[in-house]
Amino acid sequence: MPRKVKITVVKVYFFSELANAYLRDGESVGPCSYFKEGDVFYWDGSDSAPIGKKEFCPWARNDIHRALKAIYEGFNPCDWYNQEHMEIECCNDGIRPVVFKLEAVEE
């Protein structure tokens, strides 16, 4: 059966002290507006963005693409996780990072 990668938003962080120090609008920007904890998306290995109830952030997709591809192709990239074909990744926004759980699922 073809495989997909399920992407679950595990945690959304916001560092207000960094926002106040480095962003033009300070902490009023708030946490990432693309994702909420518990959001779920699926990626089918294509060039298309992951599919969910809303748009997937293109910057975050770029940040986690290496892991998405590895899991989609059946690699078990990290042997320290307690589940095979699963990885925890995050976007690299230093002020509003989002943590994702990536896991292989069969269609």
- 85-106 pLDDT, tens digit per residue, is 789 999 999 999 999 999 999 8
Strands 40-43 and 3-12: antiparallel
Q: pLDDT per residue over 61-93, tens digit each?
A: 999 999 999 888 887 666 666 677 789 999 999
Describe the strand order of the beta sheet including 40-43 as a list of residue ranges.
Answer: 40-43, 3-12, 98-106, 86-90
The count of structural domains within the chain is 1
Its domain, for residue 33, covers: 3-106
Predicted local confidence at residue 73, as pLDDT: 87
How confident is the model at residue 74, as a pLDDT?
A: 81
What's the whole-number mean pLDDT along residues 22-31? Answer: 96
